[in-house]
């Protein structure tokens, strides 16, 4: 996750995101992510209280990172095999054994989310995120567990940022990726302005086209930009959470805040089939909020592992939302979002690729091949005459094709999940 302040907890049905600077509370994603997504941390860690069991021995370093296993169970909540680790990169490997009430995990410091994984259904394969931590007290937070918070201690000081040739190449890549994020945020503002203009004119057909044109910009970078909290609001208050106000789906609404953003407009255009005064108000508010977001992302800086964790988070978005048709419930333009998530992940990987090639050429080639396979799998669904440039992801098409697309993405997720630790420990 990028370097900006703490991350807001979105309820109900939260996709967790980040918090960020310049007069705002900033919540840290990756995600990579959520959306996400994990983030590198440090700063002023604070101790937690309560929590499930964790063994006292310090985690051992393997492959340049301390290794911590977290197991989610109905009986024990989140159980860690180690309660501490030496300062530096730490890789958390998370397995949901049988915990139906727990679907996400966060590493926190002073209410900042430094790393996370979401949508962790029982029985799924283990997932990983890697963060670089300074000495101090942290918490592993598993919302929904009987004991939600597990103290975690990091000892010593993190080594200074590596200055070797590989680290230099990776650092250059993070700067290039930042420009990619900034450009997409700027383009999103332009796209939403077109959407607002069409809505103000009462032109439903033009508004539908503009909606489909604006959505991809958010989907390419959502693991990096979700969850900024506006001044005067606390993390957890969705009334000030930009991700909620821009991208919340109807299935996850906070009744105290109501519905705002892209998907409220989507319902009006496709299900209602008309533009109302409320649609116009929502479009104006959306333009205001994406403009604020575009200003905020200009101040984000990234570490190499942020790009890797963010790429993984974007693929998780594909698997948990887009592939099921849950993102674009009314327009069915999910495949456009799917392709945008993949493109965003591929760009993050591309900016890491020169450095990763020095670290592990075999893994680099494997990930590259799997990105090609996913892109090729999407090709038959492209349709220039359809909104968003892809066939509509209808229930009928999902029934016949969702499983095979999901398998292609899974084949990419597996090697991609190995990158964060490798780039975090590069010298």
> Is the pLDDT at 335 greater than 80, yes or no?
yes
Say how far apart CA 32 and CA 313 lie, in whole Å: 4
Question: So what's the pLDDT on residue 427?
Answer: 87
What is the pairing mode between strands 88-96 and 65-73? parallel
The answer to whether 185 and 293 have CB atoms below 8 angstroms apart is yes
Residue-wise pLDDT for 371-395, tens only, equals 999 999 999 999 989 999 999 999 9
Ordered domains of the chain (ranges, CATH):
61-155 (2.60.40.420), 160-427 (1.20.1420.20)
Say how far apart CA 368 and CA 293 lie, in whole Å: 31
Q: What is the CB-side half-sphere exposure of residue 160 using CA atoms within 13 A?
A: 2
* Mean pLDDT (whole number) for 131-149: 91
Question: So what's the pLDDT on residue 103?
Answer: 84
pLDDT band per the 50, 70, 90 thresholds, residue 225: confident
363, exposed or middle or buried, with CB in 10 Å at 0-12, 13-18, 19+? middle
* Mean pLDDT (whole number) for 281-295: 97
Q: Terminal CA-to-CA distance of the chain, rounded, Å?
A: 20
Say how far apart CA 317 and CA 191 lie, in whole Å: 22
Question: Of the given ranges (152-156, 200-204, 221-225, 360-364), which has the lowest mean pLDDT?
Answer: 221-225
Question: So what's the pLDDT on residue 43?
Answer: 40
- In eight-state DSSP terms, residue 299 is T
For 238, the token pair is 């969705």
For 371, the token pair is 């990105």
Which carries the bigger pLDDT value, residue 160 or residue 271? Answer: 271
Name 231's Cβ contacts closer than 8 Å, sequence gap at least 6. 23, 24, 25, 240
Which carries the bigger pLDDT value, residue 250 or residue 20? Answer: 250
Say how far apart CA 8 and CA 116 lie, in whole Å: 12
Q: How far is CA 72 from the centre of its chain?
A: 21
Among candidate residues 352, 415, 413, 342, the one with its CA nearest the CA of residue 376: 342
Question: So what's the pLDDT on residue 119?
Answer: 78
**Per this entry, what is the length of the chain?**
427
* Mean pLDDT (whole number) for 77-86: 95
* Mean pLDDT (whole number) for 167-176: 95
Question: So what's the pLDDT on residue 160?
Answer: 64
Name 12's Cβ contacts closer than 8 Å, sequence gap at least 6. 252, 253, 254
The answer to whether 3 and 113 have CB atoms below 8 angstroms apart is no
* Mean pLDDT (whole number) for 212-223: 96
* Mean pLDDT (whole number) for 309-330: 95
Which carries the bigger pLDDT value, residue 343 or residue 8? Answer: 343
pLDDT band per the 50, 70, 90 thresholds, residue 163: low
Q: What is residue 35's three-state secondary structure?
A: coil
Say how far apart CA 166 and CA 346 lie, in whole Å: 20
* Mean pLDDT (whole number) for 143-150: 87
Say how far apart CA 224 and CA 188 lie, in whole Å: 14
For 245, the token pair is 């106000």
Among candidate residues 191, 221, 186, 222, the one with its CA nearest the CA of residue 209: 191
Say how far apart CA 311 and CA 30 lie, in whole Å: 8
Residue holding tokens 């001044």? 231
- In eight-state DSSP terms, residue 270 is I
For 336, the token pair is 């456009």
Name 372's Cβ contacts closer than 8 Å, sequence gap at least 6. none
Question: So what's the pLDDT on residue 161?
Answer: 60
Which carries the bigger pLDDT value, residue 416 or residue 125? Answer: 416
Say how far apart CA 39 and CA 117 lie, in whole Å: 11
Question: So what's the pLDDT on residue 53?
Answer: 59
Say how far apart CA 31 and CA 90 lie, in whole Å: 18
pLDDT band per the 50, 70, 90 thresholds, residue 47: very low
Helix axes 204-225, 277-297, angle to 10 degrees: 30
Q: How high is the mean pLDDT of the chain?
A: 86
Question: So what's the pLDDT on residue 114?
Answer: 83
Q: What is residue 337's three-state secondary structure?
A: helix
For 277, the token pair is 């005064």
> Is the pLDDT at 312 greater than 90, yes or no?
yes
- In eight-state DSSP terms, residue 95 is E
High-pLDDT (> 90) share of the chain, %: 71
Based on its alpha-carbon atoms, the radius of gyration of the chain, rounded to whole angstroms, reads: 21
Put the strands of the sheet holding 84-86 in their side by side order.
84-86, 149-155, 136-141, 105-109, 112-117
Say how far apart CA 150 and CA 77 lie, in whole Å: 10
pLDDT band per the 50, 70, 90 thresholds, residue 8: very low
């Amino acid at each position: 996750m990028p370097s900006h302040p703490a991350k807001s907890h979105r309820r109900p049905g939260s996709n967790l995101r980040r918090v960020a600077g310049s007069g705002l509370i900033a919540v840290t994603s990756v995600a990579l992510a959520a959306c996400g997504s994990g983030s590198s941390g440090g700063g002023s860690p604070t101790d937690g209280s309560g929590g499930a069991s964790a063994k006292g021995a310090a985690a051992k370093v393997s492959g340049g990172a301390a290794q911590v296993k977290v197991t989610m169970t109905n009986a024990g909540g989140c159980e860690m095999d180690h309660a501490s680790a030496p300062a530096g990169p730490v890789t958390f490997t998370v397995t949901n054994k049988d915990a139906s009430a727990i679907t996400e995990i966060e590493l926190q410091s002073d209410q900042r989310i430094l790393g996370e994984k979401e949508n962790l259904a029982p029985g799924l394969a283990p997932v990983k995120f890697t963060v670089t931590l300074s000495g101090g007290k942290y918490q592993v937070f598993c919302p929904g567990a009987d004991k939600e918070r597990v103290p975690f201690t990091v000892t010593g000081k993190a080594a200074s940022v590596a200055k070797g040739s590989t680290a230099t190449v990776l650092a250059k890549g993070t700067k290039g990726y930042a420009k990619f994020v900034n450009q997409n945020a700027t383009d999103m503002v332009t796209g939403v302005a077109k959407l607002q203009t069409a809505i103000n004119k009462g032109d439903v057909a033009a508004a539908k086209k503009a909606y489909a044109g604006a959505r991809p910009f958010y989907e390419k970078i959502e693991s990096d930009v979700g969850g900024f909290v506006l001044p005067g609001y606390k993390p957890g208050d969705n009334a000030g959470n930009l991700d909620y106000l821009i991208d919340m789906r109807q299935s996850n609404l906070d009744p105290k805040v109501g519905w705002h953003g892209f998907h409220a407009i989507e319902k009006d255009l496709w299900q209602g089939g008309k533009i109302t005064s409320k649609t116009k108000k929502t479009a104006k508010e959306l333009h205001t909020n994406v403009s604020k977001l575009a200003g905020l992302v200009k101040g984000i800086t990234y570490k190499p592992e942020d790009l890797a964790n963010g790429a993984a988070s974007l693929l998780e978005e594909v698997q948990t939302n887009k592939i099921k048709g849950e993102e674009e419930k009314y327009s069915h333009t999910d495949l456009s979002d799917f392709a945008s998530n993949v493109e965003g992940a591929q760009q993050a990987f591309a900016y890491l690729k020169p450095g990763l090639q020095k670290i592990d050429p075999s893994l680099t080639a494997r990930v590259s091949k799997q990105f090609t396979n996913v892109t090729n799998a999407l090709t038959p669904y492209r349709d220039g005459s359809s909104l968003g440039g892809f066939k509509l992801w209808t229930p009928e098409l999902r029934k016949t094709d969702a499983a095979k697309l999901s398998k292609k993405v899974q084949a990419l997720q597996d090697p991609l999940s190995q990158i964060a630790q490798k780039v975090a420990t590069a010298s």
